[in-house]
Amino acid sequence: MKNSSEALVKSLFETNAIRVCPAKSPFWYTSGKIGPYYINTHFLYGSEEKANDLLRLIDTAKENKPDCSAIVFEKALENYKTDIIYKNCIDTLLEAIDRNITAGSYDYISGGERRDWFFSLIVSAMLNKPHITIFKDMDAYVFHNGKCERIDSLQGAQVLHIADLITSASSYERSWMPVIRNASGVMKSSYVIIDRMQGGHELLKSMGVASHSLVRIDSNIFKGALEKQYIDEEQFQMVTRYMEDPDGFMKDFFLENPDFLEKALHGDEKTAQRARLCIEKGFNKTSKT
């Protein structure tokens, strides 16, 4: 298990599933805040290009919900057979589920639109469990052995949810859990590739869901990345500072780099829009103004 976990961490950095910015050049987030890393777990499909291809396929396939699960599953299975990065990720997840969740404690596996499906559909097939394909509009279909039908009553069945990422678990609370509950099912467990360690685990626990992850975004993963030279010392220090106090990091960075915001305002439209949002929300205001 140790070797497969190390290979997974290596893949996270080599595919840019975890991407750390150069020192002094933090990323602009959609919130208008800045930070030193991006997480795109779905790049573990093999590469950014392959992951984006599958997203495009999903966007087309979901227009026909009864056929969507089979289309995405067949593509994922084909990739599993040929891409070593993706295969290692899925195999590591299967090993972890086998080790940490009792086999008889779940009857279904669920996954939510869109990125959960990169992992949940193929895992359900490998474990021979029906897959509950949940759409963002809270419609859902049960897919098993090539057959798909709209969800009816789960009759008290227990569900394991597979996701790419958990942050605050808002999608669980807002969409995934209500769909299962409304179908008379119970979400008992969740397994994600990455836990961002931003409260999602605790929220799920408070709602009676056991939360598991392969990788936790804490200082240890970046310390390991530094040791393996996936990142350098300056990047590591920047990430460590951010993780200790994200808002404090942001305010200090603006204070120490007063031209950063001005350059962003004159950058490409996406960057400029996020910089304007930063100003509107007052994220750029420092304690020394």
In whole angstroms, what is the distance from residue 72 CA to residue 122 CA? 9
Question: For the CA atoms of the chain, what is the radius of gyration?
Answer: 20
Contacts of 264 (CB under 8 A, 6+ apart): 28, 271, 272, 274, 275
The verdict on residue 188 lying in a domain is yes
Beta strand pairing call for 210-216 and 186-195: parallel
Indicate the burial class of 63 (C-beta count within 10 angstroms; 0-12, 13-18, 19 or more).
exposed
Q: Tens place of pLDDT for every residue, the chain, 289 residues?
A: 567 788 999 999 999 999 999 989 999 999 999 999 999 999 999 999 999 999 999 999 999 999 999 999 999 999 999 999 999 999 999 999 999 999 899 999 999 999 999 999 999 999 999 999 999 999 999 999 999 999 999 999 999 999 999 999 999 999 999 999 999 999 999 999 999 999 999 999 999 999 999 999 999 999 999 999 999 999 999 999 999 999 999 999 999 999 999 999 999 999 999 999 999 999 998 654 4
Return the structure tokens found at 264: 């962003």
In a shared domain, residues 209 and 234: no
In whole angstroms, what is the distance from residue 161 CA to residue 111 CA? 6
Residue the block writes with tokens 């097939």: 125
In a shared domain, residues 108 and 33: no
- Tally of domains within the chain: 2
CATH number at residue 176: 3.40.50.2020
Overall pTM surpassing 0.85 (yes/no): yes
The verdict on residue 286 lying in a domain is no
Indicate the burial class of 206 (C-beta count within 10 angstroms; 0-12, 13-18, 19 or more).
exposed
- Provide φ and ψ at 144, rounded to 5°: -160, 130
Among 194, 220, 246, residue at a domain's last position: 220
Instruction: Give me the domain span that covers residue 249.
Output: 2-40+228-280
The verdict on residue 139 lying in a domain is yes
Among 220, 238, 272, residue at a domain's last position: 220
Residue the block writes with tokens 């997840």: 93
In a shared domain, residues 197 and 238: no
Among 201, 220, 239, residue at a domain's last position: 220
Q: Under a CB-based contact definition with an 8 Å cutoff, are residues 191 and 160 in contact? A: yes
